[in-house]
Amino acid sequence: MWLKSTFVSGVAVVLLLLLEPFPPHASAQQLAHRLILKDGSYQLITKYEKKGDRVRYYSAEREDWEEVPDALVDWAATDKYEKDRAAGAPAPEAVELDKELEAEKKAEELKTTEVSRGLRLPEEGGVFLLDNYQGQPQLNELQQTGGEINRNMKRNILRAAVNPIASSKQTIEVPGQHAKIQSHAPLPTIYVNTTDLDQSDDSAQAPAKAQQAAQPQLPFDHFKIVRLQVKGDKRIVGDIKIAVYGKVSQEQSLIPTSARELTGGWVMVTPNSPLTPGEYAVVEMLGKEGLNLYVWDFGINPNAPPNQMAWKPDIRDVQPAPPEKPAQLQKREKQ
């Protein structure tokens, strides 16, 4: 009797070792294998055994024994998965996720404009300068700078236009000698999103907004480039003259430019000829009211250090150029 009991206990221990190679509460995702079914689904298992026309497996998710008909198991797919896993191949989910992410990326790219290989304008808008630094195209976001009006009275200029002062003349100034963004290319391209301009309810802008509302919609080419004059620690955007009858006129060093509408509310502004080194700004012309006192300043300096926050091309979107064919081979193809 003791012998029989010992034998049964020994068999039970052996079966326990065979059936439970891993601790029952170990990380199921790390230890689990896949039993892939013919319908494409699978079961996460730690072990299995065949019993006639049934496959008995231990579920890593439910931590219990379950069964499935052998005819429903895709053994070829199950073996392939195990071989790929042993060889270090990525899991099918990872491959599928990569495909989904790539599809989403391409769908998002269709909503934006590509300005250079691997460089696209953001969907959320803004004002950007396309530069070229050491042979690499780069996008730099231009921030608006509030034009300060140098005058003796503390009033908004449009209020001064309503209450004119004879022979009055003021200047619009931007603080600092140099802009934060310096273009290394003498012929930069500016991209302005007309749907994302600052519409804050600043009290100083309220009169301007009220008068703009009464005007017809401004044309897409109402963005211009002006050259700034550096005086001391300031840069002069332009002079403002107010006639005795209230008419406001402005004098700026306007640069001849061309403007073209793009998709997504973007406008491309380019100077008609290379700009000489110096300080410049993109200004918004407001019809009869002159220009917006908030400008986007930048400089032209081929020797300037790199712009720290520049957007660089996404190397995944830049395909290497095909190698050039030898001159002799090109000559033969032409013949």
Residue 310: inside a domain: no
CA dihedral 228, 231, 234, 240 (to 10 degrees): -60
Examine the domain organization and report whether 150 and 288 are in the same domain: yes
pLDDT tens per residue, range 110-156: 557 889 988 998 888 889 999 999 999 999 999 988 766 554 443 33
Range of the domain at 78: 2-93
Examine the domain organization and report whether 147 and 239 are in the same domain: yes
> Is residue 163 predicted with pLDDT exceeding 90?
no
Examine the domain organization and report whether 135 and 261 are in the same domain: yes
Examine the domain organization and report whether 60 and 168 are in the same domain: no
> Is residue 197 predicted with pLDDT exceeding 60?
no
Examine the domain organization and report whether 195 and 230 are in the same domain: yes
pLDDT of residue 220: 81
Examine the domain organization and report whether 251 and 137 are in the same domain: yes
Residue 305: inside a domain: no
- Structure-model confidence comparison of residues 239 and 48, the more confident one: 48
- Structure-model confidence comparison of residues 13 and 78, the more confident one: 78
Residue 317: inside a domain: no
Nearest to 189 by CA among 270, 126, 262: 270
Examine the domain organization and report whether 68 and 128 are in the same domain: no
What domain count does the chain have?
2
pLDDT of residue 279: 96
Of the candidates 58, 93, 128, which is a domain's last residue? Answer: 93
Residue 101: inside a domain: no
Residue 138 neighbours by CB under 8 Å, 6+ apart = 119, 130, 131, 132, 307, 310, 311, 312
Number of helices (H) and strands (E), helices first, in the chain?
Answer: 7, 21
Residue 216: inside a domain: yes
Residue 86 confidence class, pLDDT cut points 50, 70, 90: confident
Residue 335: inside a domain: no
Q: Which amino acid is at 105?
A: K
